[in-house]
Structure 1
């Protein structure tokens, strides 16, 4: 079944509708995993589980042998509904609406269709994998756990909504829980106490200034710090003696997590009233611009008349563990716009989803040198 055939196009969008109709808010991915497992088995793809936790597993289909080994990866989990999120798939013209439609169930549908295309071409001179991961919207441990259990490949394309542009670099992340303590006092005499909130603001200001000193990247920009949560105090007439905040630090390549952690800890350790706890971490991505993977994608895109751009992303994706843990070239590319992801009216273009299937198939075929 060639990805550009009418049959493949109908299958691709039909699969996408079914996927969007199945709720898969992390960490509850089991229902959609069972559906995909049954779907892949019915197609003769011999799916196997790579367990991450009870009721949570990555799903792997693999065909061929030897190198190059190419992985098509997308995550099946979504964020919780946002406001008036569409619970089921709804088609209006060229757009398919629904939670998870572009992030990243369209990529799953496109990659599955491309995978079937490649298998229909006969014997492979290499290996092609379809890896459906979990936990991307949670702690980001899906792909990481698969690699820790022995999964490996030579190239990885990670499906995320990029409008089919190629993301070769993105920022790393570090989520921290900060705690400051102070001295309680009556609000009418704040000079008799020490505000844990004011200490927190001082601490975060020092961290932000230090993080800003990291070098920037041409594609991903400079480092940033977001104060996402702050909890302290119970009354306006009492000086708060404890404050807890959560911050999100993003940093560009080639800065490493160890650089950021050591910078933050050196600031926190200066104050006996401050402490720090790491909650989530992910390295930055920087795949070389002359990568054969990028060249194959752009070549395939030109044959389809696409005007693709090679770009960077300030966010984090599961392309990172492929790159840092396996030392391979990995990129991010998929149908849909990141502007629609996590919104109450999330949607994806049907025609672009079908186009993505053809593009993925052409890229894999080129890397495997098959017609």
Structure 2
């Protein structure tokens, strides 16, 4: 197997992406950089900007070939704000000592660059045997309401459902080849408003202190054992993120207290069941509480074997490591994709993602390029 024959400049393409300050919800031309490279490789490009007029989310779908097997690569060009503390400018794409620095280098413009480079190698080989597509959104780091979630139904309507999807998120903690993600926990957030009656602390019988009920409610939620995990998922975790009263004084009983929490849950649960449980506990400790819940994704898992084994073989052959098949960490757009086709995630080392001086090693980008290329050939492309 001979790859890297196209002469495609992975680092140069990554620099072009990093020099676009595509902080959610801004695009700053990042999708145009991707589209330009894919057009030169022969892809048909469709821009799909969904959402309210004037505040649309920029998205791109591109496909090369019409036959099966059909492999889709999913990713995002939007990034989180750079913040302070950088010694390398966050949007310069500076290369120093074998590293390329910039916001999004690891998460996940580097992954996009490596995949496009691998596609260039496949095209240079000639004789594409199936089809390759890319689903690239400009809203993964933000609310995610009109990005991948909205593109997927369009793909169904237009006959673009892939046989498998590979997401280029930075899955490796410290070194290439450590982890392939084959699932993710679900996520549900809740805001519980406990109301009372304001009054003087010296006359508590004339008031109704909501803080006492809120503290008891929060304790009951936090100490409940949701589950003990299973063979592929860690135990579900409920975290109280704040209990807000907004009371600047010590002698006034406040009128309300607000609890915020998040549950990262495994596939033992479904989001609507956990929402119902939160309401049941709230009713027990604070009958008049207002409970708002938001499910941002359900837990999912792609079965090992089959295409996942092809990916693991490609990783092992190029890195010398046998990757762990993992379901931990936060959410990704794979949570939406899993409802349409099997999906797995493999990308760069993520040790510096969302940090100052985020970077990816140039050697890792080339390794990732070869992993993607080897996987595509094994997939039948």
Cα offset for 1:215? 4.3
What is residue 17 of structure 1 aligned with on the other side? Answer: 15
Is the 8 Å Cα contact of residues 77 and 134 (structure 1) preserved in structure 2? yes
What is residue 288 of structure 2 aligned with on the other side? Answer: 273
In structure 2, which of residues 106, 125, 139 is the aligned counterpart of residue 121 of structure 1? 125
What is residue 151 of structure 2 aligned with on the other side? Answer: 146
What is residue 188 of structure 2 aligned with on the other side? Answer: 174
Is the 8 Å Cα contact of residues 182 and 194 (structure 1) preserved in structure 2? yes
Cα offset for 1:304? 1.8
Is the 8 Å Cα contact of residues 157 and 330 (structure 1) preserved in structure 2? yes
Is the 8 Å Cα contact of residues 49 and 57 (structure 2) preserved in structure 1? yes
* 1:235 and 2:248 correspond: yes
Is the 8 Å Cα contact of residues 5 and 121 (structure 2) preserved in structure 1? no
What is residue 134 of structure 1 aligned with on the other side? Answer: 138
What is residue 301 of structure 2 aligned with on the other side? Answer: 286
What is residue 345 of structure 2 aligned with on the other side? Answer: 332
> Aligned with 2:143: secondary structure?
coil
Q: 2:62 & 2:202 partners in 1: Cα distance? A: 67
* 1:69 and 2:73 correspond: no
CA offsets 1:224-273 (integer angstroms, 9 cap, x no match):
12223443233222211122333221001242212222221222344332
In structure 1, which of residues 284, 293, 310 is the aligned counterpart of residue 325 of structure 2? 310
TM-score, reference length from structure 2: 0.87
Cα offset for 1:6? 8.2
User: Which residues of structure 2 form unaligned runs of 5+?
Assistant: none
What is residue 7 of structure 2 aligned with on the other side? Answer: 7
Aligned residue-pair number: 361
User: Which residues of structure 1 form unaligned runs of 5+?
Assistant: none
TM-score, reference length from structure 1: 0.89
What is residue 31 of structure 2 aligned with on the other side? Answer: 33
Q: 1:19 to 1:247 in 2, by over 3 A?
A: same
Cα offset for 1:319? 1.4
Q: 2:209 & 2:84 partners in 1: Cα distance? A: 36
* 1:250 and 2:254 correspond: no
Moved more, 68-77 or 268-277: 268-277
What is residue 216 of structure 2 aligned with on the other side? Answer: 202
